[in-house]
Amino acid sequence: MTEHHQNRRDVLRAGAAVAALGTAAIGGSTRVAAAGTGADGGSALRAGIDAVLRRAVDAREVPGVVAMAATEQGVFYEGAFGTRHLSTGPAMTLDTVFRIASMTKAVTSVAAMQLVEQGRLKLDDPVPDIDPALSAPQVLEGFDASGAPRLRPAKRPITLKHLLTHTAGFGYEQWDANLVRHVKATGMPPTSSGKLAAYRMPLVFDPGDRWEYGVNIDWVGLIVERTSGRKLDEYFREHIFGPLGMKDTGYLTTPEQRARQAHVHQREVDGSLAPQPLETPFTPEFWFGGGGLYSTTADYMAFLRALLHEGTSNGARILRPETVALMNRNHIGAIEAGILKTTLPSRSVDVDFFPGSTLKWGLGYMINAQPGPNGRGAGTVTWAGIFNTHYWIDPGRRVAGLIMTQVLPFGDERAMRVYGQFERAVYDHLKAA
């Protein structure tokens, strides 16, 4: 492992020491609320989690943070600290709206699995013929002497399982130098343009050969649309958000929701955080299955609790228990997953969240094949959004955790340290409760 990855492992493990902090007041932070657990000493136990998040905000490791943790019995921790904008505020609150980016992928995966349950999609069949990029994929083999891409037909068809597990061969420019070169050589628009043409990129390997994080779930979203006959935002509202009571989750924000939105902060070379203006709203050519949603911690925790509780949350069932169990299994066999090499350091660092560990992929998210350094058990499913929003679901320990901030680059060392410390504090709480 590189020195960078070794440092990250040390950063993640440092959470155990910080979680032992007491409840001494530290100036400059704002604490908003915590769920009660009755007269069982829960308040004292939650104070350890508070201390982790408060210290991180006061040390300017993150500008602000909202975090939640829940078991099958309900949410046992929720807290908000810091500000939505370092220069102007206001304070973070439990209803702060975040850009959750690739945490959208789990939602789209659930939508696809609902259609699998209904027999309208098959995991191992070739995907529906909705676009040549899927039905007649080309593999990028390299570039000729003039710099033109060398392409050939893929050796096998793309399946829904390939897309859900990021083994179809699609990538992202920010983590694949050959795709950056291909975009420049062909003049195709970048994925940030919101144009469908940007997603008609070649594969970087044959379907099923290996793992690479990419635009796979954006194609799944389009498959959900074509199969269901509903636009993706409508499908989500009718079959996931509405049943689970996720009233603050969607691709577009109302003026009232935008007033509650946290600003993204860019980590500067000197370690400081520079607040960025709120993004300019625009409507892409299609809703991205792989990103683009806005949400709150309460909303997304309702979704996580549904997956933790075999498909049911808030009295609504979105998946059958056997479907959730299927999603949580390793579907890539001996292939290794989860490591990203950046081409754009301001957007993402090199990512290896668990150096030396075996990482697999289920039908929608990463799987820790071994126990993690901060308490999660083997078989925990997890992923994140590029602005450093993170979640995990530990089926063995029956706990889900969620931490949201708005910091770039993805995998930022200080943001990851806070994540690791929060996770450790959650498991310490469970042991002591």
The residues carrying an active-site annotation are 102, 105, 213
CA dihedral 46, 352, 169, 156 (to 10 degrees): -90
* Sheet hosting strand 359-361, strand order edge to edge: 74-82, 64-71, 399-404, 389-394, 381-385, 366-368, 359-361
Tokens of 152: 């050939």
The rounded distance, in Å, linking the Cα atoms of 208 and 47 is 47
DSSP-derived pairing of the beta strands 265-267 and 407-408 = parallel
Q: How far is CA 278 from the centre of its chain?
A: 20
Tokens of 288: 């991205």
- Judge whether 344 and 359 are in contact, CB under 8 Å: no
Tokens of 46: 């939650």
Burial 6-26 (b: 16+ CB within 10 A, else e): eebbebbbbbbebbebeeeee
Q: Residue 71 phi/psi, 5° resolution? A: -115, -175
Tokens of 91: 């304070």
Tokens of 337: 């997953």
- Judge whether 211 and 165 are in contact, CB under 8 Å: yes
